[in-house]
């Protein structure tokens, strides 16, 4: 039993520690019903499609603030994200919108998350995402996630769904672009969508079961 107890402890610790995995990025996606648009591949997340937000010129709805706009189509200052076979035909978010000195949009969440997913269109080297929780906890530039980050509007290398996993807990995201533009759609947030944490009761039962087996084996041996 002396040798088995540490083993049980290590196993339980290993199961629990999946909740504290290092931050990582992947490019998995699911398709929206239109068969073209990229969205989060995870089921237990909340997705903002921007479709129910009116395409208000330069005016951000409640919950968002800054110099951006929900838009559709492509103009000289913003290009619809490119999907499997063509551009996004729905509303999406473009930052910045006008030429003011403010080049970012801030999104405040009423709870904390450690996952963010977004369909990032025409990724540019001057695009950046900041994750905050009182202070900044993580940040990524366009070149970090989609080199060459040259803003190509029809290339899958620069139009992809990006999943940021196992981030430090954040309740605010700042989307910044020092030039035109940062375009995103189907913004998703969640907590450990890639590895739901086992219920404590499940762990206890599992541990108790292992301990029982160990005792049984020990008695048999003796
Ligand atoms: Ca949309
Ligand atoms: Ca862009």
Which ligand gives the minimal distance to the CA of 120? Answer: 2
Q: Tell me the CA–centroid distance for residue 49 and ligand 1, in Å.
A: 4
Q: Tell me the CA–centroid distance for residue 169 and ligand 1, in Å.
A: 26
pLDDT, position 32 = 98
Question: What phi, psi does 59 have (nearest 5°)?
Answer: -115, 120
181 prior amide bond cis, ω within 30: yes
Q: Tell me the CA–centroid distance for residue 50 and ligand 2, in Å.
A: 17
pLDDT (tens digit, 9 = 90+) per residue, 114-169? Answer: 999 999 999 999 999 999 999 999 999 999 999 999 999 999 999 999 999 999 99
What b/e string do you get for 197-212 counting C-beta neighbours within 10 Å, with b at 16 or more?
eeeeeeeeeeeeebee
Q: Tell me the CA–centroid distance for residue 35 and ligand 2, in Å.
A: 22
User: Which residues are 65's β-sheet partners?
Assistant: 106
Q: Tell me the CA–centroid distance for residue 88 and ligand 1, in Å.
A: 7
Considering Cα of 138, then 143, then 146, then 147, what sign does the dihedral take? negative
Return the domain boundaries, the chain: 22-194
Q: Tell me the CA–centroid distance for residue 113 and ligand 1, in Å.
A: 22
Which residue reads 């929780």 in tokens?
A: 133
C-alpha distances out from residue 210 to 5, 200, 202, 218, Å: 9, 15, 12, 12
**In the predicted model, is pLDDT for residue 107 greater than 80?**
yes
Of the two residues 71 and 200, the one the predictor is more confident about is 71
DSSP run (H or E) holding 39: strand 38-39
User: CA torsion angle for 77, 80, 86, 91 (degrees, to 10)?
Assistant: -150
Q: Tell me the CA–centroid distance for residue 119 and ligand 1, in Å.
A: 10
Q: Tell me the CA–centroid distance for residue 158 and ligand 2, in Å.
A: 9
Of the two residues 63 and 167, the one the predictor is more confident about is 167
pLDDT, position 58 = 78
Q: Tell me the CA–centroid distance for residue 122 and ligand 1, in Å.
A: 15
Say how far apart CA 213 and CA 140 lie, in whole Å: 48
pTM, entire model: 0.82
On whether the CB atoms of residues 28 and 41 are closer than 8 A, the answer is yes
What b/e string do you get for 103-135 counting C-beta neighbours within 10 Å, with b at 16 or more?
bbbbbeeeeebbbbbbbbbbbbbbbbbbbbbee
Say how far apart CA 22 and CA 116 lie, in whole Å: 15
Say how far apart CA 132 and CA 144 lie, in whole Å: 18
Which ligand gives the minimal distance to the CA of 37? Answer: 1
Span 22-194: which CATH code?
Answer: 2.60.120
Q: Tell me the CA–centroid distance for residue 190 and ligand 1, in Å.
A: 19
What whole-number percentage of the chain has pLDDT above 70?
A: 79
**In the predicted model, is pLDDT for residue 218 greater than 70?**
no
Say how far apart CA 142 and CA 155 lie, in whole Å: 15
pLDDT, position 123 = 98
**How, if at all, do strands 104-113 and 170-177 pair?**
antiparallel
pLDDT, position 57 = 76
Q: Tell me the CA–centroid distance for residue 5 and ligand 2, in Å.
A: 55
Q: Tell me the CA–centroid distance for residue 98 and ligand 1, in Å.
A: 21
Q: Tell me the CA–centroid distance for residue 126 and ligand 2, in Å.
A: 9
Q: Tell me the CA–centroid distance for residue 32 and ligand 1, in Å.
A: 10
């Amino acid at each position: 039993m002396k040798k088995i107890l540490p083993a049980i402890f290590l196993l339980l610790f290993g199961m629990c520690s999946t909740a504290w995995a290092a931050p990582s990025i992947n490019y998995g996606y699911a398709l929206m019903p239109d068969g073209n648009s990229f969205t989060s591949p995870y089921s237990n997340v909340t997705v903002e499609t921007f479709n129910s937000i009116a395409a208000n010129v330069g005016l951000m709805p409640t919950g968002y603030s800054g110099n951006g706009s929900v838009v559709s189509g492509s103009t000289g200052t913003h290009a619809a994200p490119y999907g499997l076979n063509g551009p996004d035909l729905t509303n999406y978010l473009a930052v910045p919108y006008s030429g003011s000195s403010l080049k970012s949009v801030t999104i405040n969440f009423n709870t904390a998350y450690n996952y963010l997913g977004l369909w990032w269109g025409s990724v540019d080297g001057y695009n950046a995402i900041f994750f905050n929780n009182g202070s900044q906890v993580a940040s990524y530039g366009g070149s970090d996630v989609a080199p060459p980050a040259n803003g190509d509007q029809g290339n899958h290398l620069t139009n992809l769904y990006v999943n940021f996993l196992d981030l430090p807990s954040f309740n605010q995201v700042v989307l910044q672009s020092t030039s035109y533009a940062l375009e995103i759609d189907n913004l998703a947030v969640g907590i450990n969508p890639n590895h739901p944490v086992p219920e404590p009761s499940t762990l206890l039962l599992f541990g108790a079961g292992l301990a029982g087996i160990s005792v049984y084996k020990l008695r048999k041996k003796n």
